[in-house]
Copies of this chain bind each other. A is one copy, B any other.
Amino acid sequence: MTSLAKLLEAALFASAHPIMVDDLINLAHDKEVGEEEVNTALTELKEHYDTDEHGIELMEVAGGWQILTRSEYTEAIERAQLAARPQRLSAAALETLAIIAYRQPIGRAEIEEIRGVGAGAILKSLHERELIEVTGRAEGLGRPLLYGTTPLFLEQFALRHLEELPRSDELAIALREPRPSETAAVGDAQL
């Protein structure tokens, strides 16, 4: 491997979270090394892991790069109690996250309106898991807190960026299309 690829490998091995490309460029500490060189080295590293059949792989996630174990070894590693998978989120928590991801910044009242149930406890637990954060306060009465998703949300959902989620008008509505006469009543049903 090139020395840049080796350096990047060492740095990625020393981090539990994705490293942004900008930080990888800084790491090289060399004016000759820019985004292009880093991307080439990342590709080299990625291909090396893929073609040489490693137990790990390089993934682009949450706006940066991260080395992760390949999924086929997860069960064995967990069985041997060398590492544990995080708990799955409840359906209610996932719904709340989905709403926040699409509508951020969004306040609690609006989330509750969409889900039809109270959101207080779920917001607290998503906040504790650092999947959402307070991004501000709404104008107006009561000045409610507004929530948005965090970089850790992208990381844990293997998303490169928020735009990777389908746009709301791309979401197939499993139910049939409205008849023209109904369009007015349901036209604003989009996320």
Chain A interfacial positions (CB closer than 8 Å to B): 1, 5-11, 13-16, 19, 22-23, 26-29, 48, 52-56, 67, 69-70, 73-74, 76-77, 79-80, 82-85, 91, 116-117, 134, 136-137, 143, 145
Contacts and interface: CB of A to CB of B under 8 A. Distances in A.
Given A9-B55, A9-B56, A76-B27, A22 B82 contact: no
Contacts of A29: 76, 79-80, 83
A23 B80 contact: yes
Nearest to A26: B80
B13 A56 contact: yes
B77 A11 contact: yes
Contact of A56 (B10, B82, B85, B145): B10
This chain's copy number in the assembly: 2
Contacts of A80: 11, 23, 26-27, 29
A82 B19 contact: yes
Given A52-B52, A53-B1, A70 B23 contact: no
Contacts of A14: 69, 77, 82-83
B85 A11 contact: no
Given A29-B76, A76-B29, A134-B117, A11 B54 contact: no
